[in-house]
Amino acid sequence: MKKLLLTAGWVTGLLVISACSGEETGNESTIVNVNETSITEAEFVAALKDRYGEQILNEMVQKTIFNDQADQLNIDSDQVEEEFQSFKQNYGVEDDEQLLTMLQTQFQLPVDSIEDFKNDVLKPQLVLREISEKDIEITDKDKQTYYEDNKEDLEAVSARHILVEKEETAVEVKEKLESGEEFETLAEEYSTDGTASEGGDLGYFNRGQMVEAFDEAAFQMSPGEISEPVETEFGFHIIEVLDTKTSYEALESDIEDVLKEEQATPENEVIQELMDKANINIEESSYEDWIQT
């Protein structure tokens, strides 16, 4: 999520500046009366400009540069949509509205719509990735060596779970599963976890990403196997393993992604390089010190 958080600032800034657009000429209409004092729209806009103006102006400049770069790199709506679908799959979310809620709450991204997320976060992400990885060459030997050196850390499990407060409830859930009831239905009915609406789906995770007891149980199971109640600090879990990735073939694309990320040019350097190369002309002298080139 580091990359998403990097671009999230643009969204925040653009939302703030949109409140100011069109009224910066000094509209003196009153927007709030406090006791006997009036606060005008011009005063409000001026305060926003003083406090956030420099940051927002730089974010708008960067957004323009990224849109230009996307055009030059031929990054089109199909590629953005592919990235979007991959993001949804990685986080085990199928419904766009549920994803939007997750972006706003879990990731604290102030996006109003999925289109905002695609245009203000994913498209710049694609630009950064393509530029930062453009000179990287990963050989089969590189991937094989990394696999042998990091085999245990690379292993991944796809699982779903039902989390309940009491052990007797977990036992009841397990018995219902054994009698043929659907996991997704029971997850929605019983689970106290945020994944309940998604049938308890946790997607893929590596060793060490979950709490210890959960981690140990999941990585000892085979696909299709359902655990006995597993106690953690959160309650009691019934876990079903859906898939495992342990072989080189299954992990090859993940390994390539890791190696590319390790060798990629840091994103702040890419942004600075793009700023340095851009033709930025400051037409108003009072803003000369604002643009960070």
Block means of pLDDT (10 residues each) for the chain, 293 residues, are 39 44 61 92 91 90 93 95 90 85 86 92 93 94 97 94 97 97 96 90 92 96 97 97 95 93 92 91 87 76
Name the helix (H) or strand (E) containing 237. strand 235-245
* 130 neighbors 122 (Cβ within 8 angstroms): no
Report the half-sphere exposure of 21 (CA within 13 A, side-chain side).
9
Q: Tell me what pLDDT residue 226 has.
A: 97
Q: DSSP letter at 54? A: H
* 78 neighbors 60 (Cβ within 8 angstroms): no
Q: Tell me what pLDDT residue 27 has.
A: 67
Give the bridge partners for 159, in sequence order.
Answer: 241
Name, in order, each residue with C-beta under 8 angstroms of 88's C-beta and a sequence gap of 6 or more: 94, 99
Q: Tell me what pLDDT residue 12 has.
A: 47
The Cα-based distances of 279 to 11, 14, 55 in angstroms read 23, 22, 19
Name, in order, each residue with C-beta under 8 angstroms of 201's C-beta and a sequence gap of 6 or more: 92, 160, 195
pTM of the model: 0.63
Q: Tell me what pLDDT residue 110 has.
A: 85
